[in-house]
Structure 1
């Protein structure tokens, strides 16, 4: 089943609402015009009466009309006939006994067949000088004729209701056709503008999302609008940039992992193949087996680092926060790296904070942080170089600084040193570093709510400083 488009739904909803509004408005206007038309008709009849000389309306019975008055009767007939044509109504003048004195020349098929019967109540109204009106198959207006405040008769003006309805139906037709045209016009305008400001931008975003699903992560949408659609487009572009960055990082990560894995595997394969094929002399096999073992250790370190990084990023790595002595951890790390320090004749200075300095942290993970930073300092420190480990506190925080007098880090490289597989000196560290150590350090500290940063010293050397929370400043659960 084909789904209804958003534009069609919008137009149908708008048309229904607009239709209801216009129908109600048209009905109200129709009723108003009907009342207005009858009011105007009554006003015409009243103006008609005002145009008949009052002296001409005071003739009583036929026997009161003498020969001398025939001229006045003719004048009255002429006036009544003219007014009848002007207001398109039949006009009759009756005496107080309901005898017709005079009637206008009106179309025969539109004339009253029977004079309206005036009820006693309405007759009393006429006697008091009040006009009355009827609406049945004719619209009839009856006006009393008074002389010296005495009732002399009445004047009847009547128009067929079918003729009035005919005029009203024309007005109704104009109103309803106008409402229909307005509805069609409004729906067309809505369709045009909705397509331009709503449907087309949404379609562009939808198409971009489909291309994203097909792997085109560089796709962007360009919607120049300050409304919710524009905000949606901006959010989409922000999401697209993030996804593109993630995708690029993923590809770079896979490329780096593949390269790092291929290098030791190729070396191991070459050495073992040489031993099997007899290319390597028997007295050299031990040396090359040591090289194979070294490459296997390197491969193991890389895999372990990858597993640690993956566990930290996925949140699966559990931290056991407890009270630990940071001074003791630093002593242990120095002892573990004593051989490397002596091989390069490095001068190591340690400045601890008191006899014991207790912090709240995960002991194993903090040990890994210190080990990685110390190992990094040893690698970049030259022979007979200097390394300094200092501990200081500020408020509830304890800070550990590890300094080495090796080469400074270039300003453009400082923000990249925390990236996975980044190596500032690839030629020197390719065999001994996986490029994941600093990334793991930063992730471990961030997971514990701590910070780490690096600074180039003014003269020479680089220092790495990270924070820990003093044990006495929080309650351990």
Structure 2
């Protein structure tokens, strides 16, 4: 440590030690200063009375008036921050958590104001998280419900028979719906870092084929994009990886749903899977033929409730939650999701680390 640093540290310690007697940094010291100033003024006026022709009772009146004025001035400085915090607390009671107190003090009231603002920020974050959780649940449950509804309506309308294969498809959608309820409730624990991750070794082709099959099944009354062709490319076909299968299903379902929505008429969505650079790692891509994502929006699309230039131009941009949820699930694996360069359309790339690289 340099001499300058040591001197500055010593000065800071000395200044902190003088805080109890600094009227600008201590309410107690300010009240003590008020009493001292009042006594000094009264003593001065009495001294003047003894050395002049002014009556003592007149001096007493002036002393009382001066003390009252000083007391009023100090009291106003102490009470004004409390009044502002009271107004802010009432606003928060009505649901306005964006309200903050604004005053610059170095005393205990300043510390109270800073603590109040931190509390308001925490409450605002909790309220925002609660609203986002409800929106996430609504967004995530829509796809399996639409798929299940499509299967049941086809059976009721006689389009398909209630054979075992159709019922198995409906059962898979129901199981998927039940799993989503459990997994989306984990969002409430996301900020606390206690979201569970159940990674295991699995075969990539059957898993992704199931995702595409469910995406095709969901093309019913709730989806108008029955013209988009879904293509799966896994190389090698026997590729295996190590990850949480349900979370990965969640990621791919969101990416495919997003790609289908932005595909042109009779477009093509390609899902590719390749081995990762780490053992049991995985590289995934979802490529569409839509308008793509402007470079300025490529980081923003993964934020919750974000809307790209395409969405702002009038096209369906969704709720802005699908890609945010996908990034959340990928982050749980310690992986990465990003918008990759593509000569046409949009290409989403997901990198999962595989064995030995998953977070605890």
TM range (shorter): 0.5 to 0.7
Counterpart Cα distance in 2 of 1:272 and 1:320: 32
CA distance 1:347–1:182, shift in 2 (3 Å):
same
Counterpart Cα distance in 2 of 1:378 and 1:188: 72
Shift of 1:212: 0.6
Deviates more, 1:296-305 or 1:260-269: 260-269
CA contact (8 A) 1:347 1:384 kept: no
Per-residue CA shift, 1:363-422, capped at 9, x if unaligned? 654x555554455555538657352535347xxxx9864223224345547524353899
CA contact (8 A) 2:243 2:354 kept: no
Shift of 1:170: 5.4
Gaps of 5+ in 2: 1-26, 217-229, 261-266
Q: Is 1:206 aligned to 2:82, yes or no?
A: no
CA distance 1:333–1:428, shift in 2 (3 Å):
farther
CA contact (8 A) 1:418 1:442 kept: no
Shift of 1:237: 6.0
Question: SS at the partner of 1:200?
Answer: helix
The equivalent residue for 1:456 is 340
Counterpart Cα distance in 1 of 2:352 and 2:157: 54
Counterpart Cα distance in 2 of 1:459 and 1:262: 32
CA distance 1:429–1:307, shift in 2 (3 Å):
farther
Counterpart Cα distance in 2 of 1:442 and 1:274: 35
The equivalent residue for 2:232 is 346
CA contact (8 A) 1:404 1:463 kept: yes
CA contact (8 A) 2:144 2:173 kept: yes
Gaps of 5+ in 1: 1-7, 34-167, 351-355, 358-362
Shift of 1:317: 3.8
The equivalent residue for 1:389 is 274
CA contact (8 A) 1:420 1:435 kept: yes
TM-score, normalised to structure 2's length?
A: 0.53
Q: Is 1:16 aligned to 2:35, yes or no?
A: yes
Counterpart Cα distance in 1 of 2:276 and 2:152: 48
Asked which structure has the greater RCO (Cα within 8 Å, sep 6+), the reply is 2
Larger Rg over CA atoms: 1
CA distance 1:181–1:468, shift in 2 (3 Å):
farther
Counterpart Cα distance in 2 of 1:420 and 1:169: 77
Per-residue CA shift, 1:24-50, capped at 9, x if unaligned? x669x96xx9xxxxxxxxxxxxxxxxx
CA distance 1:14–1:218, shift in 2 (3 Å):
same
Q: Is 1:307 aligned to 2:185, yes or no?
A: yes
Shift of 1:305: 2.3
Question: SS at the partner of 2:272?
Answer: strand
Counterpart Cα distance in 2 of 1:287 and 1:263: 23
Shift of 1:454: 0.9
Counterpart Cα distance in 2 of 1:335 and 1:202: 64
Q: Which of 317, 330, 333 matches 2:204? A: 333
Question: SS at the partner of 1:337?
Answer: helix
CA contact (8 A) 2:251 2:326 kept: no
Equivalent residues in 2 for 1:145-164 (5 A)? none
Question: SS at the partner of 2:276?
Answer: strand
Equivalent residues in 2 for 1:103-142 (5 A)? none
Deviates more, 1:308-317 or 1:174-183: 174-183
Counterpart Cα distance in 2 of 1:286 and 1:169: 112
CA contact (8 A) 2:211 2:252 kept: no
Equivalent residues in 2 for 1:350-429 (5 A)? 365=244, 367-376=245-254, 380=259, 383=268, 385=270, 387-389=272-274, 391-392=276-277, 401-406=283-288, 407=290, 408-409=292-293, 411-412=296-297, 414-417=299-302, 419=304
CA contact (8 A) 1:445 1:452 kept: yes
**When the two structures are aligned, how many residues end up with a matched partner?**
296
CA contact (8 A) 1:264 1:299 kept: yes
The equivalent residue for 1:217 is 97
Shift of 1:318: 5.1
Q: Is 1:188 aligned to 2:69, yes or no?
A: yes
Counterpart Cα distance in 1 of 2:141 and 2:80: 48
The equivalent residue for 2:223 is none
